[in-house]
Amino acid sequence: MKKISMILSGLVLGVGIANADMLSVSAGVGIEQQKIDGYVKSGNTKNYFNNKSAETDGNTNTGNLGLDDKNNPFLWVKIIHPIPFIPNIKLQYTKYHSTGHSNYIAGNMKIFGDVDISTALTDADTKMDINSYDITAFYEFNPVFADIEIGAGVDIWNGNTKIYDNTNNKEIVNQNFTVILPYVYGHVETMKFFGFSALADIKWAKAGDNHHYDYLGAIKYTIDVPGPINPFIKVGYRYKEAYGVDGDNTTKLQYKGAFAEIGARF
């Protein structure tokens, strides 16, 4: 029992030491490719987000929303403080925006479980916007070979989907939605070698049939300049997937693609 108490005390002290650093603020801004994929499904009817072949495959129960791949911005701020036991904070905003056109959207289904598409559409304009507000609380550890962060967070999606029926000249869908995606968080960044380092992030959650995956890998170059500011550039690849089941309705939404970023640590 005494040994167990000593081990637990050591772990708690280790967390305190891991956070006992000088106050620092990092920030970055960038552009990422957002290649959209996935579907919404209601019973036997399925509409893909971006699958043109579904418009012409002859299956009246399968359609396509026709949303196109886009490049959209993101920005983040990370605060690491010297107060023991209280987690550090990272805040990130990401814009997901896509528009498109479809020659066939299957009917007899619901979009995100709320809005009915009673009949099939053969000429429709579509649009989906999501504002992602991501909050992560984490502890930092600094072994010699890498910087490591472990924590948890939540990604809040405030979105809107619109579908306009060009045949009948009317808007049939204008639906706001909110999706809350919790996750556990891990981050590792290797020590720098001639200014270069490699890093990886993982955000992961699964509950029953629902899950949320967010993976990121990148190469970072830190520019050596005099003074307290350390600017950097970063290029990498990100994959994000949200999958949810609500009764007979299922949504699987994926975004993936390369990104480029500039930032600094103060």
pLDDT given for residue 114 in this prediction: 66
- Is 63:55 a contact under the CB 8 Å cutoff? yes
Q: Does residue 8 register a pLDDT over 70?
A: no
Query: Which residue range is the domain that position 163 belongs to?
Result: 2-265
pLDDT digits (tens, 9 = 90+) for 151-182: 999 999 999 999 999 999 999 999 999 999 99
Asked if residue 199 lies in contact with residue 190, where contact means CB atoms within 8 angstroms, the answer is yes
| Residue 111 pLDDT class (50, 70, 90 cuts) | confident
Q: Alpha-carbon distance 220 to 244, whole Å?
A: 34
Question: What pLDDT score was predicted for residue 109?
Answer: 87
Q: What is the pLDDT of residue 116?
A: 78
Count CB-CB contacts under 10 A for residue 75: 15
pLDDT above 90: residue 35: yes
pLDDT at 227: 82
Q: Distance (Å, rounded) from C-alpha 39 to C-alpha 64? A: 8
How many whole angstroms separate alpha carbon 100 and alpha carbon 116?
20
The CATH number of the domain where 89 resides is what? 2.40.128
pTM: 0.88
**Across residues 112-128, what is the average pLDDT?**
87
Q: For residues 18 and 175, what is the distance between their CA atoms, to the nearest angstrom?
A: 45
Q: Domain count for the chain, please give it.
A: 1
Query: In the 3-class helix/strand/coil scheme, how is the chain assigned residue by residue?
Result: CHHHHHHHHHHHHHHHHHHCCCCEEEEEEEEEEEEEEEEEEECCEEEECCCHHHHCCCCCCEEECCECCEEEEEEEEEEECCCCCCCEEEEEEEEEEEEEEECCECCCEEECCCEEECCCECCEEEEEEEEEEEEEEEEEECCCCEEEEEEEEEEEEEEEEEEEECCCCEEEEEEEEEEEEEEEEEEEEECCECCEEEEEEEEEEEECCEEEEEEEEEEEEECCCCCCCEEEEEEEEEEEEEEEEECCEEEEEEEEEEEEEEEEEC
